Amino acid sequence: MPKILRVNVSTREVKMEEAPEKYLGLGGRALTSQIVFDEVPPTCDPLGEYNKLVIAPGLLSGTSAPSSGRLSVGGKSPLTGTIKEANAGGITSQKLANLDIKAVVLEGKPADDKWYGVKIDKNGAELFDASDLAGKGTYEVTAICRQRFGEKVGVITIGPAGEMLMLAAGVTNNDGEGNSSRYAGRGGLGAVMGSKRIKAIVVDSPTTFDVPVKDPERFKAAARKFSKILLDHPVCGQGLPSYGTNVLMNIINEAGALPVRNFRFGRFEQAANVSGEKLAEVAVARGGKATHACHPGCVMRCSNVYPLPDGKVCAPIEYETAWGFGPNLEIGDLDVVARLNYICNDVGLDTIETACTLGVLMEAGVIPFGDGQAAIAALEEVAKGTALGRIIGSGAAVAGKVFGVTRVPVVKGQGIPAYDPRACKGNGVTYATTPMGADHTAGYAVTANILKVGGFVDPLSKDGQVDLSRNLQIATAAVDATGLCLFVAFAVLDNPDGVPTICEMLNAQYGLSLTPDDVVKLGQSILKVEREFNRLAGFTSKDDRLPEFFYSEPIESHNVKFDVTDEELDSVFNF
Amino acid sequence: MPGTNKLRVMLMRIEVRVFSGLEKYLPGVAFGQAFSVELPEGSTPRDLLSRLGIPEEQVFTVLKNGRHLSWDGILQDGDRIGLFPPVGGG
Ligand code: SF4
């Protein structure tokens, strides 16, 4: 029977419960959002006693379905105040699923200030004293845990930023090589884990792909078919495996939608120097890898392994991170980008939020635009817990207030990622309306706007963007429930067999008879639950808006503003 | 000389960049490096590719001044053209 592991940090009680019937059909984001909705009071203090941190593998995680090992981490976000699901790669999701654990729930508030870890294996779970891990960076924590509990364990951990309850702190877990860089980065969930004083969750499972499947033959056939659907698609089968996600740098730049200098311009002269092509060239020359799988069984392998000049390894550098520390700060040096990325991974900060924050600090003149060394020095303050370090760890909205900057790219308090909402309007609609705060993955309209996947909608015109964002938000919520990597969407959007094959895998695994309509309904119901949580937490349609300057200041690459009206934005959730 | 004049009017110069592996068809050109190509007025992306020797099926996206251009779209003097194979990420 699938189980839910509850760790009550008030009582130090660790309990494996049978998962209730009503959660059996849920996984990943569907389950984290439902448990948060059912158990967390929407108005609670995100860092207080009543919030919970919920960690859940997807419905297909732990099977042989390709690219299905994604992990969902949920809770009430200290950064946005909304419900939050942050999604990560890494090896932990498959391990949890193979231990038949549907969710891990951290709850309560510790009475003392000790640090604990949770060890989970096939015999159950127990707390251990983690005082020796406290204060350490995530790479070291992971290395120590691998030494102590075995090379193959998955380690979910937070860095000093999470320990210090910084609002931009993420929760990470490692890849197969032990790199602690697979972040559920967004929304400050690392601070929630820190507020529970759990430094690490070690997951030890002897198997990876052996989750019980009702009809193994049928499952195998469907998984094979899905693999082929992915590999036959030009983006999933060729684009991603060649240069990784940072292959986007040049096309977004050429399209004039690359946010440069804190969202002032749409093109950056040095974009090619921090692009995926350059990354592949340098990584391979230094003995790294241009392509890499973040968990066993991924066929798209979009990740990379980038050795820094000092021998440290950053794996991977993703497009959003390269954008945030590159063009966004007018930095054209990939080694600087990699260093900033590495520090964030180690100290435990969301790279997108931190990049937006550094952009705001540069806007304020605290550090100069383009000055990589100054950015590195500023970021190094975070681990030390200095005043500047704590501001950086608090995210862009707080930094804007502290330094009197009004040009702050956030929605619901969360930093806007790597696509300018004026020149990629579908993503603008998603940023404004997703229950998560500005989030590109929640409804990735770059597909139809710029990549010409799943149709074409002119990125500069507002026509069709609301429908596009709505449909993508629904589909994404459903994909996030399955544990499939969101990148399957490129193929699924273009191939009519895609969604039916996902249904076929779920049906074979669970003995169900889902149709594509049910998948749409699942996506809709997840969004409804999340929206309802936010409504009860005090959010209204006025929160579903972009910052003022996107409406008043045209982006120079195309001379367009964000012009989707409030009424149009308010119609996104008309379903 | 009227003849030369006519020729000048008919040629246009466009600024081209290739990315993500397409540079292998153009020895000496790096990805992202701008180079100019002269083509007769009224040329299309197809004409450009055949001039450059890049097989059409290798190219997924043609951006002209930051906007998508179809295979039959018309190139104009001074255009900035970016050529891409299938790419995605996020
Ligand atoms: S496509 Fe990339 S992010 Fe997605 S599962 Fe594979 S390696 Fe991980």
CB proximity B73 to A under 8 Å: no
Which residue of B31, B32, B90 is in closest CB contact with A245?
B90
Going by pLDDT thresholds of 50, 70 and 90, the confidence category of residue A242 is confident
CB proximity A68 to B under 8 Å: no
Residue of B nearest to A300 (CA): B89
Residue of B nearest to A277 (CA): B20
Q: Which of A61, A67, A247, A248 to mutate to test the pocket of ligand 1 (most atoms within 8 A of CB)?
A: A67
Per-residue pLDDT at B9:
55
Element containing residue B83 per DSSP (H, E):
strand B80-84
pLDDT digits (tens, 9 = 90+) for A543-573: 999 999 999 999 999 999 999 999 999 999 9
pLDDT tops 60 at residue A421 = yes
CB proximity A436 to B under 8 Å: no
pLDDT digits (tens, 9 = 90+) for A81-108: 999 999 999 999 999 999 999 999 999 9
The residue count for chain A:
575
pLDDT tops 90 at residue B90 = no
Q: Which of A93, A172, A238, A240 to mutate to test the pocket of ligand 1 (most atoms within 8 A of CB)?
A: A240
Of B7 and A40, the one with more pLDDT: A40
A567: burial class by Cβ within 10 Å (0-12, 13-18, 19+)?
Answer: exposed
Sign of the alpha-carbon dihedral angle for A370, A290, A90, A474: positive
CB atoms within 10 A of CB B67: 15
d(CA A445, CA A429): 9
State the angle between helix axes of A372-384 and A334-347 in degrees (0 to 180), rounded to the nearest 10.
10
Per the CB < 8 Å rule, is B86 touching A235?
A: yes
**What is the ipTM score, two decimals?**
0.90
The partner residues of A173 in beta bridges, in order of sequence, read: A182
Which residue of B32, B66, B88 is in closest CB contact with A239?
B88
Tokens (6 digits) for A524: 């809709």
Tokens (6 digits) for A74: 């949920």
pLDDT tops 70 at residue A6 = yes
Q: What is the mean pLDDT of residues A410-439?
A: 98
User: Do the bridges between strand A289-292 and strand A303-307 make them parallel or antiparallel, or are there none, so unpaired?
Assistant: antiparallel
Strand, coil or helix: A391: helix
pLDDT digits (tens, 9 = 90+) for A198-237: 999 999 999 999 999 999 999 999 999 999 999 999 899 9
Per-residue pLDDT at B5:
54
pLDDT digits (tens, 9 = 90+) for A294-311: 999 999 999 999 999 999
Min distance A239 CA to chain B CA atoms (Å): 5
pLDDT digits (tens, 9 = 90+) for B28-45: 999 999 999 999 999 999
CB atoms within 10 A of CB A561: 15
Element containing residue A84 per DSSP (H, E):
strand A83-88
Tokens (6 digits) for A462: 């507002």
Q: What is the mean pLDDT of residues A384-398?
A: 98
Residue of A nearest to B22 (CA): A277
- Ligand 1 — pocket residues by CB below 6 A? A 67, 89, 240, 293-295, 298, 300-303, 485, 487
Residues 6+ apart with CB under 8 A from A328: A259, A260, A261, A262, A263, A355, A356, A358, A359, A418
Per-residue pLDDT at A9:
98
Q: Could you give the strand order of the β-sheet that contains A71-76, starting from the edge strand earlier in sequence?
A: A13-18, A3-8, A101-107, A52-57, A71-76, A83-88
d(CA A155, CA A561): 44
pLDDT digits (tens, 9 = 90+) for A489-535: 999 999 999 999 999 999 999 999 999 999 999 999 999 999 999 99
d(CA A116, CA A188): 20
What percent of chain A is predicted at pLDDT more than 70?
A: 100
Strand, coil or helix: A109: coil
Going by pLDDT thresholds of 50, 70 and 90, the confidence category of residue B87 is confident
CB proximity A284 to B under 8 Å: no
Tokens (6 digits) for A235: 């983006």
Q: What is the mean pLDDT of residues A272-292?
A: 94
Q: Which of residues 216-235 of A touch B (CB under 8 A)?
A: 234-235
Per-residue pLDDT at A291:
87
User: Tokens 């075995």, residue?
Assistant: A150
Chain B residues within 8 A of A423 when measuring between CB atoms: 66
Q: How many CA atoms lie within 13 A of A346 on its CB side?
A: 20
Per-residue pLDDT at B6:
54
Q: Could you give the strand order of the β-sheet that contains A116-121, starting from the edge strand earlier in sequence?
A: A124-129, A116-121, A198-203, A154-157, A171-173, A182-184
Per-residue pLDDT at A241:
87
Strand, coil or helix: A181: coil
pLDDT tops 80 at residue B1 = no
When computed from its CA atoms, the radius of gyration of chain B, rounded to whole angstroms, is: 14
Going by pLDDT thresholds of 50, 70 and 90, the confidence category of residue A167 is very high
Residues 6+ apart with CB under 8 A from A249: A258, A271, A272, A274, A275, A276, A319, A322, A323, A326, A327
Sign of the alpha-carbon dihedral angle for A108, A109, A111, A116: positive
Nearest to A422 by CA among A327, A546, A541: A546
Fill in the DSSP letter of residue A237: I
Per-residue pLDDT at B8:
53
d(CA A542, CA A540): 5
Q: What is the mean pLDDT of residues B62-85?
A: 96
Amino acid at B50: S
Task: Give pTM, 2 decimals.
Answer: 0.96
Sign of the alpha-carbon dihedral angle for A437, A441, A444, A446: positive
Tokens (6 digits) for A224: 């094979």
Min distance B27 CA to chain A CA atoms (Å): 16
What percent of chain A is predicted at pLDDT more than 90?
A: 97
Q: What is the mean pLDDT of residues A467-478?
A: 97
Min distance A256 CA to chain B CA atoms (Å): 5
| Residue-wise DSSP of A407-473 | ---EETTEE--SS-TTTSHHHHHHHHH-TTSS-STTS-THIIIII--SS---TTS-TTHHHHHHHHH
Question: Which is the closest atom of ligand 1 to the Cα of A245?
Answer: 2
Strand, coil or helix: A320: helix
d(CA A479, CA A523): 8
Per-residue pLDDT at A375:
98
Q: What is the mean pLDDT of residues A261-273?
A: 97
CB proximity A569 to B under 8 Å: no
pLDDT digits (tens, 9 = 90+) for A253-262: 999 999 999 9
3-state class percentages of chain A: helix first, strand second, coil last, to nearest 5: 45, 15, 40
Going by pLDDT thresholds of 50, 70 and 90, the confidence category of residue B86 is confident
Per-residue pLDDT at B10:
85
Going by pLDDT thresholds of 50, 70 and 90, the confidence category of residue A190 is very high
For residue A45, report the distance from its CA to the centre of ligand 1, in Å. 34
d(CA A224, CA A66): 8
| Residue-wise DSSP of A476-540 | HHHHHHHT--TTHHHHHHH-TTHHHHHHHHHHHHHT----HHHHHHHHHHHHHHHHHHHHHTT--
| Mean pLDDT over the full length of chain A | 97
pLDDT tops 80 at residue B4 = no
